[in-house]
Structure 1
Amino acid sequence: MTTKTETTTTAVAKVPLQTPAGRPKAKSPYPYWFYLPAAIIYAALFLVPTFASFFFSFTRWTLTDFTFIGFDNFVQFFQEPALLKGLLNTFIYGVVTSTLKVVLGMLLAVMLTSQIIARGYLRSVIFFPVLLSSIGVGIVFTVLMDPRNGMINEALALIGIDGPAWLTDPAWALISVALVDVWKGVGLATVIYIAGIVSIPQEYFEAATMDGASSVKSFFQITLPLARPATATVIVLSLIGGLRSFDLIWAMTKGGPGFTSDVIASVIFKQYQAGFYGLSTAGNVVLFLIVTAIVVPLSSFLNRKEVEQ
């Protein structure tokens, strides 16, 4: 009698619970409410300003009213004589800064992951410029690069080198700002590379050493391929920063002398200062589309190569 009761109770316990209509229980929407704060912040700080910029780029607007004028702002923007120079300078600046950050960041990371004295201190020293204000760095280097009384040219004079007019010579102005940008930003690239190199299993290097591989061969055969994710990250971040750069250039040269160090962002700001708000908004849209058209395919390509590896 006891055995029959236990069997009946077990059979009843195994019957799955169902709704009265025989349908499975609906999933509660409660967890999705936790996405709401992030979605509101994202919409307020990104989606709304982005769509507003696209709308006002087709208008002639002031703080009180606007008039829809179609593509006239874009046509006028591309007819500006400073735009082509600024566009070329933007690409030069982005390529130079991102290339140097990738190369120097990798070399510094290899050095700072080796067995050297004061490794932790050197890591802090290299990363410290990243924490500094771009405007402050620009003002300091403007003084240091003064062609007559700057410390850089005075130091070069001690070894018999006649330093150039870094920020006033049209041939040197853009490159000078780019070098300062690299000095300020290479620390971030180095930290990313250090994280990528440290994550490589040490067994690979030990096996290479046992096989008689040199340090140079280990670098090209182990470190460089396995640090590909870090390389992709540094390239994308550096290129975005280079194409959008404005504050350092404005603090050091304001786009001068003439238009020789102007980039798209500085041209946009000059149009805004002149009161052409619709024209400057159209320039922002152009800059957004250029950065997107370059970075999105490049990021997809680098990530695809990473997966194939």
Structure 2
Amino acid sequence: MATDSPARAARAASAPRPGGPGRGRGRRRRSPYPTWFYLPAAVVFGVLFVLPTFASFWFSLTRWTLFDSEFIGLDNFRLFFDEPQLVTGLRNTVVYAVLTSGAKVVLGMLLALFLTSQVAARGYLRSVVFFPVLVSTIGVGITFQVLMDPFGGFINEALAAVGIEGPGWLTDPRWALYSVALVDVWKGVGLATLIFIAGIVTIPREYFEAARVDGAGPLKNFLHITLPLARGATATVITLSLIGGLRSFELIWAMTRGGPGFTSDVIASVIYKQYQAGFYGLSTAGNVVLFLLVTAIVLPLTWLLNRREVEL
């Protein structure tokens, strides 16, 4: 009997008491702050996001200028999908977003694995990888526009030195969009790496020690420990990279302005060109299409990734 008393005492101490934390399990904890504390944030959110969003939906149904507007229904959307260059921009947007986000996820994970290993100068290498994130997007675009010049650019000159004829990175319709995507990956992979590093270092080392005792190698550690337990970081990188790719504009405009022709146009650059030409209603409809495209892709993907993370 005496030997069982510590176990009984431990069970009694862990049992929920009436009125204690166990009684309200399953209920949402009530916030200690009054509801009106949220009012300033709600006002700012409404003024800066909700009102402009509804205004964009309204103006997409009109032919408007700075001084007047005329309601035309869905004509702007019909014209948007009837214009070949606008449809090309829509297709390029999806291709660009998938390529850049996929490359950032893969390269970011590989770099994070390397930079969390016992490598020399690990802190310095992390800074080097993250540095492009801090550089101005326009500055990066102008710099690589010079480097990728087919006549005298550093990249083609370096390839010519080893006997390789470099393509027209930004002037060849077959290469332009992919060249910009490559630069986008170079600039953004540092942020993905940082997020993956944050996810990997939070994994308890006991898992890797137990796997080492069982004889598991690096590949099994990655597949059965790192990848599942870093799922939250993976979901974050996929979501942020995909949103950034779908909304991309600055880098493409700085490097190609959508050219040659319309081969590297995305929705954002097409919208900007329509604004420049004075087609405000059509460009607003393009904004609505972009908003719906991002929402239709990102929301289900976020729900799926978070759902799988919870089930894990």
TM-score by length of 2: 0.88
Unpaired segments ≥5 residues, structure 1: 1-26
Residues 11-58 of structure 1 show CA distances to partners (whole Å, capped at 9, x for unaligned) of xxxxxxxxxxxxxxxx9x972232122111111111111011001111
Within the candidate set 83, 87, 97, 1:94 is matched to 97
Amino acid at match of 1:64: F
2:221 aligns with 218
Q: Which letter does structure 2 place at the counterpart of 1:96?
A: L
Partner SS state of residue 63, structure 2: strand
Task: Tell me the equivalent position of 1:227.
Answer: 230
Q: Which residue of 2 aligns with 1:117?
A: 120
Percent of aligned pairs sharing the same letter: 75
Q: Distance in 1 between matches of 2:128 and 2:104?
A: 16
Superposition CA RMSD, Å: 1.5
1:185 aligns with 2:188: yes
Q: TM-score, normalised by structure 1?
A: 0.89
Q: Which moved more, 1:103-112 or 1:259-268?
A: 259-268
8 Å contact kept, 2:208–2:221: yes
Aligned length: 283
Residues 1:129 and 2:132 are matched in the alignment: yes
The 2-side partners of 1:218 and 1:159 are apart by 40
Structure 1 counterpart of 2:284, from 265, 276, 281 = 281
Aligned to 2:165: 162
- Alignment partner of 1:31 out of 3, 19, 34: 34
State the shift of 1:229 in Å. Answer: 0.8
Q: Which runs of 4+ in 1 moved over 6 A?
A: none
1:54 paired residue among 53, 57, 65: 57
Letter of the 2:54 partner, please give it: F
Report the 3-state secondary structure (helix = DSSP H, G, I; strand = E; otherwise coil) of the residue aligned with 1:67. Answer: strand
Q: Which amino acid aligns with 2:219?
A: V
**1:301 corresponds to which of 300, 304, 312:** 304
Give the distance between the partners of 2:106 and 2:233, measured in 1 at CA.
Answer: 12
After superposition, give the CA deviation of every residue in 1:72-92 in whole Å (9 maximum; x if it has no partner): 111111111101211111111
Unpaired runs of 5+ in structure 2? 1-29
Partner of 1:148: 151
Q: Does 1:266 align with 2:269?
A: yes
Deviation of residue 159 (structure 1)?
A: 2.2
Q: Partner residue of 1:44? A: 47
Amino acid of the residue matched to residue 298 of structure 2? V
Q: 2:250 aligns with which of 226, 247, 252?
A: 247
Change (3 A) 1:243 1:30: closer
Distance 1:170 1:81 in 2: 16
- Judge which range, 272-281 or 150-159, deviates more: 150-159
| AA aligned opposite 1:275 | G
Whichever of the two has the greater Rg, that structure is 1
Q: Return the alpha-carbon distance in structure 1 between the equivalents of residues 166 and 219 of structure 2.
A: 35
Whichever residue aligns with residue 233 of structure 2, its letter is A
Is 1:238 matched up with 2:273? Answer: no
Tell me which residue corresponds to 1:74.
Answer: 77
1:196 partnered with 2:220: no
Q: In the alignment, residue 291 of structure 1 is paired with which amino acid?
A: V
Shift of 1:154: 1.4
- Alignment deviations for residues 192-213 of structure 1 (CA, whole Å, 9 cap, x no partner): 0001000100000011111111
What SS does structure 2 have at the residue aligned with 1:260?
A: coil
Equivalent-residue separation in structure 2 for 1:239 and 1:263 (angstroms): 14
Question: Residue 11 of structure 2 aligns with which residue?
Answer: none
Name the SS of the counterpart of 1:87 in structure 2: helix
Report the AA paired with residue 239 of structure 1.
Answer: L
Cα distance in structure 2, aligned partners of 1:41 and 1:149: 50
SS state at 1:166 partner: coil
Letter aligned with residue 136 of structure 2? S
* Counterpart-to-counterpart distance in 2, 1:211 and 1:109: 25
